Chain A
C-alpha cells in the first residue's frame, strides 16, 4: 500500500480490460467456482457547500476499485480491493475462492468459454462529466441560492445550499459471459434553513436530484426552491406539537412515497426473503394491500435519481410491477436472490460501490396514481393529520417501520387547519398496506438515498396523495 511503482492499470474501464479479466474468470472457474463476477469502478465526486454568503467547503474526490464475487452453489465469497494491478486482482480472487474452500490451480481445465461482446451503455455518455458545471459555476449557483434564501426567508439563523456531483464508470464481467459497461451521473442539490425566533425554532430542508442530465444545475429553478423551503420554515416556526394517537392521515405526493419505500418496498426485496424477515414471502398472487394500491419499481424513469441503464450485475433495468390492485405480483431480485429464492432477476442488483456485493434494492419506486383529487382525500377525513413533507424513515426485521413528518397540518372537518410539528408515524407493513384506501391523481417523484445491506444508493420515491385510514402518530 506504499506508493506503487508498478505500471498503472488502464485508465478507462473499456474493451482494454477484457484480456485482463478473462484469465481471472477462467482461473476462478478452474478452481471450482460455479460463477465468478468482477465489478470494476472509477469514480469522480465533487461536493460543495455554501453557508450564509460564502463557499465553505469544496471536496473533490477520486476513487477506483474492484469487487470480486465467487459463487459455489448458493454460497458466495466477496472481496474488494483498491489495487487494480493484475497481482492485486489475483490476490483478491484467491481470497474469495478461499472463503469457499477453493484454491487456484494451474493444472485444472477451466469450463469458462470467454466473455461475450461488450455491451457498452456508456459509449454515448463520455461527454457527461465535461458537460457538468465546473467548480466556479457550481459555487456561483450555490451562492445565488443562499442569497435567495435570505431574500425569501424570515428569522433565518442559518442558510445552506449543497451540491454533489457523482460520476461513476463501471465494468461488470462474469464467467457466464456477461460483460457490460456503463457511465452514471447523479447530481443533487440540497437547501436547508434554520429559522429561530426566541424559543421558536424550525429547521427545514429540501433535496433535488437527477441522473444522467449534466445541465440540470444550470436549469434548476433556485428561486422557486428557495421560496418553497422558506415558506415551509415560516409556517413551521410557530407550529405547535402534534397531539399523539391513532388517526387517519393524508400523505402528500413526492417524498410521501417514503411510506411505501419503508413500509413495503424493502419487504419485497429478495434480500428480505432470504433472511426470513418479510411477512410477504409466500404471498405472490395474494392481496397484501388495499385494492386501491398499485406499486411499481422501475429502472428507467427519465432522469429520475434511481434510474439505471444496467444494474450493478450487468443486467438491463426493468419495469417491475410489484403490487397490482392490492395483489402481490413480483419481488425485486438480484443474482444471489434468484439463486437462493427462485425469484427471477429484475435488474435490481445494486451496490454503493465496489466495496459492497450487489443486493436486491429498489430503484424508482412509486405508488401509481388513482382516480381522486387531493382535495377529495382531505375532505374525507373528520380529524387527522396531513403530512405535507416527510423526513427519513427506517424498517426493522419484524416489518415495523417509522418515518418522520417534517411539515404537518391538522385536518379538521375535512379541511386543513393548524400546522403541527414533531410527528413520527409508526406501523407495521402488514397492517398499514390494507389501510391505504384512496390514491389521488397527482403522482410525483422525489430523490432520496437509501441505506441497506449493500450501502447507500440513489433512489427515487414517489406517490400521488394517498389516504391511510388509521396510523399511529407519535408526538408530544
Chain B
C-alpha cells in the first residue's frame, strides 16, 4: 500500500480527529468482498467547524458542526461504474452505500467509464500547512466583537456590519481504492469576513467588505480585513450615476479572477468533450488572448490557503499552463478526459459516475519573455475616463459560459483626472473572448486572493450600462 501524506505531523497533545485510513480500507475491502465487488474506490471527508457572527456588539449566532461523508464507487462485472454518497459511516451505512452503488452501476455509461488514475499512487508534493489547535468559540466571539466595533468606529456613516463571520475548521480527507492507493490529508483553516453597510442622510445605503484566510484563527489578519472593509465602504459613499457607454475598464485582481473562473469551461476537458465549452479539441495551440497573457492553474501555490495535495481521484495536484503567450496550451483533466485526449491526468478531478473537472487556483499575469503589454499603466494618471471594476455580482445568473457572453452588475469607480468617484449602479457586459483579446496590460504587482494571483488588468472597450 502506498500512502501519500500531505501534512505536517500533529503535535502529540492534539487529539486525532478520526478518519482511520487503514481501518477504513480494511473494512471496505471486507464489505466489498462480501458483496462480490472486486473494484472500488472511496473518497471520505470529515470536519469540525466553529463559527460566530455578531450584530452591533451582541453575539448573533454561534455555530458548530461535525460533518462526515463518504462517496463510494464500484465497478460491476461489466466494467460499468456506479456511485453512492452517504453521511452514515456506520457499518450498515457503508453496506447500504455499496449496495446503492452496485445498483447504480447497472446504468453506468459504457461509452465513458472512469477508471483509477494512473497517478493515484504517485508521490505527492509536500505542503507547508501548519496545523493550529482550535480556539474556544468565546475567544472567536470576542475577537469578532472587537473587529466589528473597530469597523463601526471607523466612519460615522457605517451603521452596521450586516454580514460578518469568524470561522475555523479542522478537516481530513481520504482517497482509497481497491488497488491499494491511500491518500490522506489533514488541514486546519480559518476565515474572517466583514461586510459593512453605510448610509448618509438623504443618500442611498452603500456597502462593501473584505475577507482574510489563514491556517488558524490566531494567524488571521484581522486588522487588515477591518482596514480594507472600512476603506472600500467609505470610498462608495460619494457616489454618482455613470453615463451608459463604452469604457476602458480596470479590473481588480478579485474581479478579473472571478470573471476567468466563471468562464473556466474554456480550459475544461470535460466541457470540451460534452460540447458545452467555447473551446474544442483543436483549440489547443490556437491564440485565445493577447500574446502577453499567461494563465496557469496552480493549486500548490503557497498563497493558496487550504490547498489540496491530491484531487478526487487521488491524482497529485500540480501547476499547469493553460494559456502561455496568449495561446491555449493545456486543458484541465480527470483520468477519463485525459485518457480521451491521450495525456496524463492533471489533478483537477472530482469524484463521480461522471467525473467533474474544475480549476484549483489561478495565476494570471504577463507571459515570461513577453513585454507584458502597455507599460506604466496607472489608473490615477490617465487622460481618458476609465471604469475601475472592484467586484462583480451575480455571476451565477449573468454569465453564459457556453456562449461566452456576460452581463454583470458591479461595484466600482469612475476615474477621471486622477479622481475616483463611486458608481451608483451599473452593469458591465461583453464576451470573454473580446476581454481576452482586449487586454491592454497590467497595473501593479500581482495580488494573492482566495481564488488566485493576479494584478489589476486593463481591458479596452467594454460596454457599461449606468443610470444616467
Pick out which of these stretches binds chain B: A30-38, A48-56, A118-126, A213-221.
A48-56
Q: Are B397 and A3 in contact (CB under 8 A)?
A: no
Q: How far is the CB of B79 from chain A (nearest CB, A)?
A: 15
CB of B240 closer than 8 Å to a CB of A? no
Task: Report the bound CA distance from A219 to B141 in whole Å.
Answer: 52
Q: How far is the CB of A58 from chain B (nearest CB, A)?
A: 4
Q: Are B274 and A245 in contact (CB under 8 A)?
A: no
Q: Are A2 and B465 in contact (CB under 8 A)?
A: no
CB of A153 closer than 8 Å to a CB of B? no
Task: Report the bound CA distance from A246 to B244 in whole Å.
Answer: 10
CB of A357 closer than 8 Å to a CB of B? yes
Q: How far is the CB of B108 from chain A (nearest CB, A)?
A: 8
Task: Report the bound CA distance from A400 to B422 in whole Å.
Answer: 15
Pick out which of these stretches binds chain B: A109-117, A271-279, A342-350.
A271-279
Q: Are A2 and B18 in contact (CB under 8 A)?
A: yes
Task: Report the bound CA distance from A100 to B86 in whole Å.
Answer: 32
Note all chain A residues with C-beta closer than 8 A to B84.
59-62
Q: How far is the CB of A6 from chain B (nearest CB, A)?
A: 8
Q: Are A1 and B465 in contact (CB under 8 A)?
A: no
Note all chain B residues with C-beta closer than 8 A to A426.
409, 425-427
Which B residues, 44 to 89, have Cβ-Cβ distances below 8 Å to chain A?
46, 55, 58-69, 82-89
Task: Please tell me which one of the listed residues A75, A275, A423, A428 contacts residue B162 in the complex, with CB atoms under 8 A apart.
Answer: A275
Q: How many A-B residue pairs have CB under 8 A?
A: 260
Q: Are A58 and B107 in contact (CB under 8 A)?
A: yes
Note all chain B residues with C-beta closer than 8 A to A158.
274-276, 402
Q: How far is the CB of A80 from chain B (nearest CB, A)?
A: 5
Q: How far is the CB of A275 from chain B (nearest CB, A)?
A: 4
Q: Are A56 and B103 in contact (CB under 8 A)?
A: no
Note all chain A residues with C-beta closer than 8 A to B103.
60, 135
Q: Are A475 and B100 in contact (CB under 8 A)?
A: no
Note all chain A residues with C-beta closer than 8 A to B467.
246, 472
Pick out which of these stretches binds chain B: A293-301, A305-313, A390-398, A409-417.
A390-398
CB of B438 closer than 8 Å to a CB of A? no
Q: How far is the CB of B301 from chain A (nearest CB, A)?
A: 29
Q: How far is the CB of A367 from chain B (nearest CB, A)?
A: 20
CB of B93 closer than 8 Å to a CB of A? yes
Q: Are A423 and B403 in contact (CB under 8 A)?
A: no
Q: How far is the CB of B433 from chain A (nearest CB, A)?
A: 10
Pick out which of these stretches binds chain A: B200-208, B211-219, B319-327.
B200-208
Q: Are B429 and A474 in contact (CB under 8 A)?
A: yes
Using known A-B contacts A1-B18, A402-B394, determine if residue A62 contacts B93 with beta carbons closer than 8 Å. Answer: yes
CB of B396 closer than 8 Å to a CB of A? yes
Note all chain B residues with C-beta closer than 8 A to A422.
400, 405, 407, 429
Q: Are A392 and B429 in contact (CB under 8 A)?
A: no
Note all chain B residues with C-beta closer than 8 A to A428.
204, 425
CB of B23 closer than 8 Å to a CB of A? yes
CB of A27 closer than 8 Å to a CB of B? no
Closest residue on chain B to residue A473 by CB atoms: B465
Q: How far is the CB of B427 from chain A (nearest CB, A)?
A: 3
Q: How far is the CB of B106 from chain A (nearest CB, A)?
A: 8
Using known A-B contacts A82-B88, A472-B425, determine if residue A277 contacts B405 with beta carbons closer than 8 Å. Answer: no
Task: Please tell me which one of the listed residues B20, B67, B244 contacts residue A80 in the complex, with CB atoms under 8 A apart.
Answer: B67
Q: Are B24 and A54 in contact (CB under 8 A)?
A: no
CB of B375 closer than 8 Å to a CB of A? no
Which B residues, 146 to 185, have Cβ-Cβ distances below 8 Å to chain A?
159-160, 162-163
Task: Report the bound CA distance from A280 to B466 in whole Å.
Answer: 25
Task: Please tell me which one of the listed residues B89, B160, B426 contacts residue A474 in the complex, with CB atoms under 8 A apart.
Answer: B426
Residue with the greatest number of chain B CB neighbours at <10 A, chosen from A54, A77, A158, A426: A426
Residue with the greatest number of chain B CB neighbours at <10 A, chosen from A8, A277, A476: A476
Q: Are B67 and A57 in contact (CB under 8 A)?
A: no
Residue with the greatest number of chain B CB neighbours at <10 A, chosen from A56, A135, A399: A56
Task: Report the bound CA distance from A399 to B91 in whole Å.
Answer: 49
Note all chain B residues with C-beta closer than 8 A to A244.
244, 427, 429, 463, 465
Q: Are B160 and A275 in contact (CB under 8 A)?
A: yes
Task: Please tell me which one of the listed residues A88, A276, A476 contacts residue B159 in the complex, with CB atoms under 8 A apart.
Answer: A276
Which B residues, 1 to 46, have Cβ-Cβ distances below 8 Å to chain A?
17-20, 23-24, 27, 46
CB of B234 closer than 8 Å to a CB of A? no
CB of B97 closer than 8 Å to a CB of A? yes
Note all chain A residues with C-beta closer than 8 A to B138.
99, 101
Task: Please tell me which one of the listed residues A81, A392, A396 contacts residue B66 in the complex, with CB atoms under 8 A apart.
Answer: A81
Task: Report the bound CA distance from A81 to B106 in whole Å.
Answer: 33
Task: Report the bound CA distance from A244 to B408 in whole Å.
Answer: 12
CB of B436 closer than 8 Å to a CB of A? no
CB of B259 closer than 8 Å to a CB of A? no
Task: Report the bound CA distance from A96 to B93 in whole Å.
Answer: 27
Closest residue on chain B to residue A274 by CB atoms: B55
CB of A24 closer than 8 Å to a CB of B? no
Note all chain B residues with C-beta closer than 8 A to A1.
17-19, 46, 66, 68, 89
Closest residue on chain A to residue B28 by CB atoms: A3
Q: Are A139 and B107 in contact (CB under 8 A)?
A: yes
Task: Please tell me which one of the listed residues B69, B91, B407 contacts residue A4 in the complex, with CB atoms under 8 A apart.
Answer: B91
Q: Are A59 and B64 in contact (CB under 8 A)?
A: no
Which A residues, 72 to 123, have Cβ-Cβ distances below 8 Å to chain B?
75-83, 88, 92, 95-96, 98-101
Closest residue on chain B to residue A423 by CB atoms: B407
Task: Please tell me which one of the listed residues B61, B354, B430 contacts residue A56 in the complex, with CB atoms under 8 A apart.
Answer: B354
Which A residues, 139 to 184, have Cβ-Cβ distances below 8 Å to chain B?
139, 157-158
Cβ-closest 8 pairs across A and B: A474-B427, A1-B18, A244-B465, A392-B397, A61-B85, A99-B62, A275-B162, A57-B354
13 A-B contact pairs sorted by A residue (CB < 8 Å):
A2-B20, A3-B90, A54-B109, A54-B112, A60-B85, A61-B86, A82-B87, A96-B64, A244-B463, A274-B60, A396-B393, A424-B394, A427-B425
Which A residues contact B (CB, under 8 angstroms)? 1-6, 8, 48-49, 51, 54-65, 75-83, 88, 92, 95-96, 98-101, 135-136, 139, 157-158, 194, 201-203, 241, 244-246, 274-277, 279, 355, 357, 391-394, 396-400, 402-404, 421-424, 426-428, 472-476
* 20 further A-B pairs in the complex, CB-CB below 8 A; given A59-B104, A244-B244, A474-B427: A3-B24, A57-B109, A58-B82, A58-B108, A62-B84, A76-B61, A79-B64, A79-B66, A80-B64, A194-B276, A203-B276, A203-B400, A398-B207, A402-B393, A402-B427, A403-B397, A426-B409, A426-B426, A472-B467, A476-B407
Which B residues contact A (CB, under 8 angstroms)? 17-20, 23-24, 27, 46, 55, 58-69, 82-94, 96-97, 100-101, 103-104, 106-109, 111-112, 137-138, 159-160, 162-163, 195, 197, 204-207, 244, 274-276, 352-354, 393-394, 396-398, 400, 402-405, 407-409, 425-430, 463, 465-467
